[in-house]
Amino acid sequence: MVSLVLGVFLFLLFLCFHVYDQVFLSPYSFHFGLWTNPLKELALSGGAFVMAASFPEEKSLPGNKLLLLLGRILFSIMLIVFGIDHFLYTEFVAKLVPGWIPGSVFWTYFGAVALIGSGVCIMLNIKINLVGILLGTMLFLWFIMLHIPRAIAEPNIEKGNEITSVFQALAFSGIAFLLSALCPAKEPAINVNPAAQRN
């Protein structure tokens, strides 16, 4: 119940504050970069809906599948748009790659493809078990190698935005792993009919 309420609350924040600001207060300054924080809010809302659908007592409710579907879609929207951002703002994103890792532009494009591909697969329910594990691992590595060092180096930049990004990356990684657990790989049907086995 708490997760469901949190999901609704975060979704209302997204609509009433972020969307209102972008559409009505800044209608002529649109670009994808401005939607970074709103889409993070949307993805966290989706994660809360996925969490609400994960509890055993909720799995029997009629709306559970719809809740899980909504959570997947909201989370996927952020992944796809952030992947597109990697292509649109390649130079900026490449600078975020730690200097000790060679090929920053390559990893920028790799991340773009991985995010878009993961978002599409999660939205369309394609191999979510495998995709969730791979996505969760990638985001957790970003959490360790990218977000934590940046937060330590610049803790006060943009009113602590880097510190916030640390916990957001950890949350997104957790959402991906949870989706993987909730959508296990389908096992092939086993024919236990002895007569059929003799044939």
Domain assignment present for 194? no
- Is residue 191 included in any domain, yes or no? no
Within a domain: 193: no
Q: How many domains does the chain have?
A: 1
117 inside domain: yes
Residue 197 lies in a domain: no
Question: Rounded to whole angstroms, how far apart are CA atoms 189 and 196?
Answer: 14
Where are the alpha helices (H) located in the chain, listed in sequence order? 2-13, 20, 36-54, 64-88, 90-96, 104-123, 128-142, 148-153, 161-182, 194-198
153 within a domain of the structure (yes/no) = yes
C-alpha 72/C-alpha 75 separation (Å) is 5
Per-residue tens of pLDDT for the chain, all 199 residues? 788 899 999 999 888 887 777 777 666 556 666 778 889 999 999 999 999 988 866 555 567 888 999 999 999 999 999 999 999 999 999 999 998 999 999 999 999 999 999 999 999 999 999 999 999 999 999 999 999 998 998 887 766 688 889 999 999 999 999 999 988 665 444 554 555 455 5
pTM for this entry: 0.84
In three-state secondary structure terms, 112 is helix
12: its two tokens:
């209302």
Instruction: Quote the CA–CA distance of 57 and 51 in Å, as a whole number.
Output: 12
Is 192 domain-assigned? no
37 close to 18: Cβ distance less than 8 angstroms: yes
Give the range of the structural domain holding residue 59, as residue numbers without chain letter: 2-184
